[in-house]
Amino acid sequence: MCWAVAAGTAAGAKILPSPSNLTYSFIHICTVNWTWNPPENVSSSCNLKYSSDIVVNGVPKDKKEWSKSHFRVTDAHLNEEMRLRVRSECTNDSTSEPSPWVETSLLPKGIPGTAAVDLSCVWHNLEYMACTWRPGENTSSDTNYTLSYWYDGLENPKKCSNSSVDQGIFECIFNFTFSKVTSNYPAISILISDDSEEIRPVCASKNPTTLVKPATPRLLTVSKTNDVIDVKWSESETFPKGCLHYEVKCYKGDLGIDLIIESETNSVSIPGVDPNNKYTFKVRAKLKRVCYNSDLHSDWSEEKSIGEKRDSTTYFVLIITIPLIVAVSTVILLVYLKRLKILILPPIPDPREILKRMFGEQNEDSQSSAKDDPLNAFDRLIMEEEIHSLILTETSESTKSEKENR
């Protein structure tokens, strides 16, 4: 019976007519305005509304809206296929069904893989915006990207002229300031494209409150009164009052981080310090969530120190020098003791060497005296003549011939 009732209800339900003449146009560089005409022959009892949806590369973006207006403004996806669709619905009539979807498509231009990737922007100190990106995988080395931006308050989009490339990373910096300091800022649309039709453009809409990065605190001063150290630094003038707080790091000697102090103002006081130690401080600024949704914080300020500490270099030099001096002194002492031992206890000479030297000297003296005597020289000459002999050798044939002659 329930199935029959449901089937009868479905059979008797009316299907609303669809909107007509769905078109779109670009309001600015990355903003699309799509409009449609209301359906005809709709009962006056129908509380007519329009359900609009966005599909990118075949996937719904969960941005469905219901409105009585005949238009919708949304961000454009230029590097992907984007389908805009709308249908009619009666919110107070259960006997009618929504109309079929009416849709139109925005097809991407350019070669796939040439769109810029990894776009990242930082709003520095509420003064200027710096955006970086990498080229697409199918781009050539001479591709020259151009960044254009627009936000509510500009009559026309502007091009960023301060661009550079470093190790394949593109960067462009442009002024982004507002005369009235406030925590509510309009969204900014960013378009990265190229003059060539082969490069696929890419659009991005950024909430600037999520991109804020405070400037580094400057003019850090450190003073000491008795046992209290006072640390002060400059306060940013570009942020509203109460939107910044600070983090102070204190290094005690060479022991590392000793204190991490949070401060709502641009100064801190640290009591009970050791007068015989050295303290080093540095500060950075952080954002409050009540003003901005950014997770960025400033860089650390330069370090400032106060107090005295023992120089660790002196200890290091002493540790190296003292053992070296002891070693050198030991070597010198050993050499000196060896020489002193030789002087006190000289080595005992060998008697054989003494006798040998004595008799050798006497022989040399006698020989030298004999050489000097003329009589002895004559005797030596006679002896040399007696010692020498003449030896004559001859053959047998010569002997016979001599005998015959005789």
3-state SS of the chain is CHHHHHHHHHHHCEECCCCEEEEEEEEECCEEEEEEECCCCCCCCCCEEEEEEEEECCEECCCCEEECCCEEEEECCCCCCEEEEEEEEECCCCCEECCCCEEEEECCCCECCCCCEEEEEEEECCCEEEEEEECCCCCCCCCCCEEEEEEECECCCEECCEEEEECCEEEEEEECCCCCCCCCCCCEEEEEECCCCCECCEEEEECHHHCEECCCCCCCEEEEECCEEEEECCCCCCCCCCCEEEEEEEEECCCCEEEEEEECCCEEEECCCCCCCCEEEEEEEEECCCCCCCCCECCCCCCEEECCCCCHHHHHHHHHHHHHHHHHHHHHHHHHHHHHHHHHCCCCCCHHHHHHHHHHHHHHHHHHHHHHCHHHHHHHHHHHHHHCCCCCCCCHHHHHHHHHHC
In this structure, are 297 and 244 located in the same domain? yes
- What would the mean pLDDT of 226-230 be, rounded to a whole number? 88
pLDDT in tens, 46-95: 888 999 999 988 888 867 888 889 999 998 888 889 999 999 998 877 77
pLDDT in tens, 353-400: 766 776 665 555 555 544 455 445 445 544 454 444 445 454 444 444
Domain count, the chain: 3
pLDDT of amino acid 7: 36
- Of the pLDDT bands very low, low, confident and very high (cuts 50, 70, 90), residue 404 is very low
pLDDT, greater one: 376 or 237: 237
401 pLDDT higher than 50 = no
pLDDT of amino acid 178: 85
Query: Residue 284 is part of a domain; what is its CATH number?
Result: 2.60.40.10
Quick check: is 125 in a domain? yes
pLDDT of amino acid 129: 96
In this structure, are 62 and 31 located in the same domain? yes
Quick check: is 328 in a domain? no
In this structure, are 121 and 66 located in the same domain? no
In this structure, are 137 and 44 located in the same domain? no
- What would the mean pLDDT of 41-46 be, rounded to a whole number? 80
Q: Above pLDDT 90, what percent of the chain?
A: 39
pLDDT of amino acid 347: 67
Quick check: is 27 in a domain? yes
pLDDT of amino acid 345: 62
Choose the final residue of a domain: 177, 212, 247. Answer: 212
In this structure, are 289 and 253 located in the same domain? yes
Quick check: is 77 in a domain? yes
pLDDT of amino acid 316: 62
Choose the final residue of a domain: 212, 229, 263. Answer: 212
pLDDT in tens, 310-361: 555 655 666 788 888 888 878 787 777 766 666 666 666 667 776 677 666 5
Choose the final residue of a domain: 260, 291, 306. Answer: 306
In this structure, are 46 and 131 located in the same domain? no
- Structural domain including 200 reads 117-212
Quick check: is 75 in a domain? yes
Quick check: is 252 in a domain? yes
pLDDT of amino acid 105: 92
In this structure, are 181 and 228 located in the same domain? no
Q: Above pLDDT 70, what percent of the chain?
A: 75
In this structure, are 96 and 181 located in the same domain? no
